[in-house]
C-alpha cells in the first residue's frame, strides 16, 4: 500500500527513514460524524427531526421512501441509505455492475438524494453541525501547524471519508465551499508558507483549486487569520449536552425519534414546578390539612354517636310499648275470668 501511495518517490527501506503511521479507535475517531466524541451532534439531530419542520421537508422523506421501494425489487433495503450510498458510489467509480443489475438511473437518483441530505445536515444552522463534527480533526491539524519549523512535519497525510471533507468545507466556508458533495477520492490540502520576515501564511485547496476564507481577499492568508477562523474547534462546549438533554437522548435511538418528546418534557417541567409550589407551602400547609382532616373525622364520629343514640332511644320506646301492650292483655284476661254469669 505504501508503494502505491508514494509511487515514483523511490522510497528505500535501507535508508532508515521511518514514516510514522497512526491509527485510531473507531469509537473515538474524529474522522467521521461521531456522536460518541461529540454528543451535541446527536442533540442537534434530535432537534431537527422533532422540531424543525422546514428541515424535514427539505430532506424529502417521501422521495427517499419511494426510491427505497423501487430498490426493494432488486435488493434488501433494510440498510440505511447512507450505507447503500457507499456501496453504489464505489461500484460506479470502479465501473462495476451491481448484482442483480439495478437500473443506473435509479442508483443515480438515490445518490443525489443522499448527497443532498448529508450536505443539508452539514450546513444546518449556518454550519454549526459541521463545526461540531469537525472540531476534533481541526484541533489535531492545528497542533501540527503549531510546532516550530525544526520539528514540524513536512508532510502530514490524513486518510478520511467523504463526510470528513464535507464537514470541514461546511465549517470553514459554508455553502460557498460546500456547494456539492465531495467526489470519490476527493482531497483537501493545507499549504503552510514561511515568508522572509518569519511570518507564516496558509492556503487551502480543494481538488487542487484554492479556496478563499470568508472575509479574506485572497486565498493566501496569514496563519493568524486562519487560526481565528478555526477558533470554533477549541470551543469545547460545542460538543457538550446538558444533563436534561442527555436524559432525553438516553431514552431514544439516534435514528428513531418520537414526535411527542416536546410534550413529555413540558409535562415533566410542570410536575417539577408543582412539586416546588407544594414544597413552599411547608409545614403550615400540611398542619392545616391535618387539622381539617381531624375536624372532618370528629364531625363524622359525632354524627355516628347521635345516630346511635337515636336508634337506642327508638328501640327502648318500642320495647316499652310492647311491654305496655302485654300488660293490657293480661289485665283484660284477668277481668274476664272474674265475671260471674247470671
Distance between CA atoms of residues 111 and 182, nearest Å: 12
Query: Residue 131 falls within a domain, yes or no?
Result: yes
Query: Residue 263 falls within a domain, yes or no?
Result: no
Name the DSSP class of 24.
-
203 pairs with which residues across the strands? 191, 220
Q: Are 179 and 115 in contact (CB under 8 A)?
A: no
Q: Are 192 and 223 in contact (CB under 8 A)?
A: yes
pLDDT bucket at 223, cuts 50 / 70 / 90: very high
Report, as an integer, the average pLDDT of 114-135: 90
Identify which of 256, 259, 260, 262 has the alpha carbon closest to the alpha carbon of residue 244.
Answer: 262
Query: Residue 258 falls within a domain, yes or no?
Result: no
pLDDT of residue 240: 92
- Bin 284: left if φ > 0, else alpha if -120 < ψ < 50, else beta: alpha
pLDDT of residue 167: 95
Query: Residue 333 falls within a domain, yes or no?
Result: no
Report, as an integer, the average pLDDT of 38-45: 92
Query: Residue 229 falls within a domain, yes or no?
Result: yes
First to last CA, the chain: 153
Q: Which of 15-19, 25-29, 225-229: highest mean pLDDT?
A: 225-229
Longest dimension (CA), the chain: 167
Report, as an integer, the average pLDDT of 230-240: 93
Q: Are 249 and 42 in contact (CB under 8 A)?
A: yes
Q: Which of 6-10, 73-77, 217-221: highest mean pLDDT?
A: 217-221
Query: Residue 12 falls within a domain, yes or no?
Result: no
CATH code for the domain of 174: 3.40.50.1240
Integer CA distances (angstroms), 181 to 36, 85, 210, 225, in order: 24, 12, 17, 27
Provide, rounded to the nearest whole percent, the portion of the chain with pLDDT above 90: 24
Three-state SS for 200-215 is: EEEEEEECCEEECCCC
Integer CA distances (angstroms), 326 to 116, 165, 183, 268, 316, in order: 108, 114, 118, 76, 15
The secondary structure of 171-185 as a DSSP string is HHHHHHH-SSPPPTT
Grid coordinates representing 330 are 293480661
Q: Are 11 and 17 in contact (CB under 8 A)?
A: yes
Write down the H helix ranges in the chain: 2-5, 39-50, 53-58, 61-71, 81-93, 104-122, 124-145, 162-177, 223-229, 243-250, 261-338
Q: Which of 209-213, 252-256, 280-284: highest mean pLDDT?
A: 209-213
Query: Residue 236 falls within a domain, yes or no?
Result: yes
Name the DSSP class of 95.
T
Query: Residue 314 falls within a domain, yes or no?
Result: no
Residue 200 backbone phi and psi in degrees, to 5: -105, 140
Q: How many domains does the chain have?
A: 1
pLDDT of 85 strictly over 80: yes
Report, as an integer, the average pLDDT of 208-226: 94
pLDDT bucket at 215, cuts 50 / 70 / 90: very high
Distance between CA atoms of residues 216 and 122, nearest Å: 22
Question: Whole domain around residue 148: which residue ranges?
Answer: 25-250
pLDDT tens per residue, range 91-111: 887 777 766 678 888 888 888
Amino acid at each position: 500500500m505504501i508503494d502505491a501511495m508514494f509511487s515514483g518517490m523511490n522510497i528505500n527501506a535501507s535508508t532508515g527513514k521511518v514514516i510514522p503511521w497512526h491509527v485510531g479507535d473507531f469509537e473515538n475517531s474524529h474522522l467521521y460524524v461521531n456522536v460518541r466524541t461529540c454528543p451535541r451532534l446527536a442533540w442537534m439531530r434530535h432537534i431537527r427531526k422533532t422540531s424543525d419542520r422546514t428541515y424535514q421537508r427539505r430532506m424529502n422523506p417521501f422521495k427517499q421512501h419511494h426510491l427505497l421501494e423501487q430498490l426493494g425489487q432488486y435488493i434488501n433495503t433494510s440498510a440505511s441509505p447512507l450505507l447503500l450510498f457507499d456501496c453504489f458510489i464505489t461500484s460506479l467509480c470502479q465501473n462495476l455492475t451491481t448484482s442483480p443489475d439495478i437500473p443506473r438511473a435509479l442508483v443515480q437518483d438515490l445518490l443525489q438524494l443522499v448527497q443532498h441530505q448529508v450536505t443539508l445536515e452539514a450546513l444546518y444552522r449556518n454550519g454549526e453541525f459541521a463545526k461540531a463534527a469537525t472540531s476534533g480533526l481541526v484541533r489535531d491539524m492545528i497542533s501540527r501547524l503549531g510546532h516550530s519549523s525544526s520539528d514540524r512535519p513536512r508532510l502530514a497525510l490524513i486518510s478520511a471519508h467523504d463526510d470528513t471533507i464535507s464537514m470541514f468545507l461546511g465549517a470553514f466556508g459554508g455553502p460557498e465551499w460546500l456547494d456539492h458533495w465531495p467526489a470519490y477520492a476527493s482531497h483537501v490540502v493545507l499549504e503552510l508558507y514561511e515568508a522572509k520576515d518569519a511570518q507564516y501564511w496558509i492556503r487551502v485547496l480543494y481538488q487542487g483549486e484554492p479556496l478563499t476564507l470568508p472575509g479574506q481577499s485572497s486565498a493566501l492568508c496569514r496563519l493568524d487569520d486562519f487560526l481565528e477562523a478555526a477558533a470554533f474547534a477549541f470551543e469545547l462546549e460545542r460538543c457538550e449536552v446538558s444533563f436534561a438533554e442527555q436524559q432525553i437522548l438516553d431514552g431514544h435511538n439516534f435514528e428513531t425519534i418520537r414526535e411527542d418528546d416536546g410534550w413529555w418534557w413540558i409535562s415533566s417541567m410542570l410536575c417539577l414546578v408543582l412539586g416546588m409550589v407544594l414544597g413552599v407551602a411547608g409545614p403550615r400547609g400540611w398542619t392545616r390539612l391535618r387539622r381539617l382532616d381531624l375536624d372532618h373525622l370528629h364531625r363524622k364520629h359525632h354524627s355516628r354517636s347521635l345516630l346511635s343514640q337515636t336508634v337506642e332511644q327508638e328501640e327502648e320506646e318500642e320495647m316499652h310499648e310492647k311491654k305496655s301492650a302485654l300488660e293490657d292483655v293480661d289485665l283484660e284476661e284477668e277481668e274476664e275470668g272474674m265475671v260471674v254469669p247470671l
